[in-house]
Structure 1
Amino acid sequence: MILSLHFPPKLRFSDEELVAFCLANPDLNVERDEKGEIHLMSPAHGLTSANNSEILAEVTIWNRKTKSGKVFDSSGGFFLPDTSMRAPDVAWVSIERWAALSKQEKHSFPCLAPDFIIELESDTDSLPKLKSKMKKWIANGVRLAWLISMSQQKTYIYWADGKVDKVAFSKKISGAEVLSGFEVVLSDIFEI
């Protein structure tokens, strides 16, 4: 479930104020959309959280072997070019892009779009809203994005060129050239 807070235009958080708000409220899962609206997300149900941990673990294990980037969980936020601050369920940033950040940027919400993100549909999510969010991730510079639809048991794969593929959980999906060598069959790791 998402609760949206609407502020008058003069009361919108700057980036620094948003960081301070998040630090003052560490128990809240917060995002800011491109219109400046603040969205508070409720904790995930048990099964959603467990499935999210499984896919996060798969990406983390691949990354430990390749040492090619940094992996982020759902509490890691990113300031995007459209002024939003989003926190995907899983994110990955190449080691070159991560190394280019200052220490101060690493200790805040980095001002960059991850190379790869995953959003996992929960019981309370709206699939059309998630699809719209995925297009925004791509428009902001994400190179590869997966929307994992638990209700349909399909993964929507969003490519930087705007193409979208649909793949059943029983089929192998890969990180293509973004996460080179990463492959997973979601039906092998998820409880449905």
Structure 2
Amino acid sequence: MNDANCDFSPMKEQLSSRIKEITNELNHSLEVLGNDNYCLLGNLESIKEKFIVMESIASSFYLNCYLSAFTDKYEDLSTSVQWLSKNRYGALIAVERGDPLESLIQKGTAINALLTPALLETIFYPGNPLHDGAVLIRANQIVSAANFLPLTSKVISGKKLGSRHRAALGLSEQSDALVLIVSEETGKISFALNGKFYPINTF
């Protein structure tokens, strides 16, 4: 999708560096493939791990691209989810893009306040009455909290989806919303877009 001018040079440089590194390893594997004393398995495992890291960096890059077209607060949003991840506070954040979302969600509590890291982190603080459910963001505003999203009926092979992930996937299947998820169990960050999950770089 090309709904933003994705000029995030440091991330582009990181991606370029990772791609070159993987390409060099693959070329080396080709060169030594005929050597009976060389086992590819260890090298393939290393390449696989590098691909996983690269996917995470790429997801972070495109997340910023997608968000920057719809909110000036994308850096604050990124700061907040990193903090939530570090503290392992579960979170579900639906960012409205082109499609109106209010008809697709079960409305919670109106907030109608400027998006700030402090406010977002407070909402998802464990024990806060609003932390269970999704925050709805439109442009630079937190519109509401404790919203409930439509759940996906999709079954993902080999993966057991929790309620936050099922809700994120469900909304992304029915709209062009971008839905951020922070796992309470692992602290891992991902986002759902167009019915698919993408991991986020947290290092």
TM value normalised by structure 2: 0.26
| Higher strand residue share | 1
| Greater RCO, 1 or 2 (C-alpha within 8 Å, sep 6+) | 2
Structure whose alpha-carbon radius of gyration is higher: 2
Query: How does the TM-score come out when normalised to structure 1?
Result: 0.28
More helix by share: 2
